[in-house]
Amino acid sequence: MFFDPLFLLVIMIGMGFSFYASSITKGRFKKYSQFTTRSRLTGAEVAQRILADNNIHDVRIERVGGKLSDHYDPSSKTLRLSADVHDRNSMAAFGVAAHEVGHAIQHAKSYALLSFRSAWVPVANLGSGLSMIVIMIALFMGGAATATGASLSWLGVLLFGCTTVFTLVTLPVEFDASKRALTCLQQGNYVAEKELEGARKVLNAAAMTYVAAFASSLLMLLYYAFRLGLLGGRRD
């Protein structure tokens, strides 16, 4: 299988979807970074206030480098915000900062899917590291056409599926964090309705990147299952 048009098609669809989602996210963030909010708070300040509103006092806020590198680290209870979010007053900064606080709230409330995703990380890493090796060996052994090949095929697809499960579970975790973020911004009276809409548009665009990641992973999973003969496909 030196050249496979189907493989090329799957790769192009996945990359295209991911590129589109990433472009929309960057565009929305750039656009709404130009609009300040009435509160005049920075992203770091609004994050600190929302944490206090939810009686969370053991989460640190750190400034990190990079663009859209914002994330919450549950292992150290640290909220890491990029400079454009940490230091600035904008609709985009508020949306992203509040979203990351949303993850901290999930952690504080022992949100089941966040706990599952965190526990699944080593499983996903194992699957990511071993799946391609097993799949290549399975193809060499004849895929589903032979007993040994069939066993290896199922193992390879199962390992790859571990990464797909991770991208799937990430969806409700991220959607819930965004929902919590918008609720906190509104209930805390940190933004006007128009400003809230700007933050919502930024978060909706960001959500597309997670949908793209899941769709790409699922496409690759189905492709490997097909090529290995588990779905009736041919190896050659």
Cβ atoms of residues 21 and 175 within 8 Å: no
CA distances to 11, 16, 18, 164, 218 from 214, in Å: 13, 13, 10, 6, 6
Active site residue 45: no
Q: Which residues contact 150 (CB under 8 A, 6 or more apart)?
A: 143, 144, 229, 230
Radius of gyration of the chain (CA): 21
Query: What separation, in Å, do the N-terminal and C-terminal C-alpha atoms of the chain show?
Result: 6
CA angle 136, 13, 176 (to 5 degrees): 100
- Nearest by Cα to 227 from 142, 130, 121, 167: 142
Q: How far apart are CA 236 and CA 185, in angstroms?
A: 55
Taking the C-alpha atoms of residue 142 and residue 137, their distance in angstroms, rounded to an integer, is: 9
Q: Which of 45, 100, 174, 195 is catalytic?
A: 100
Q: Which residues are catalytic?
A: 100
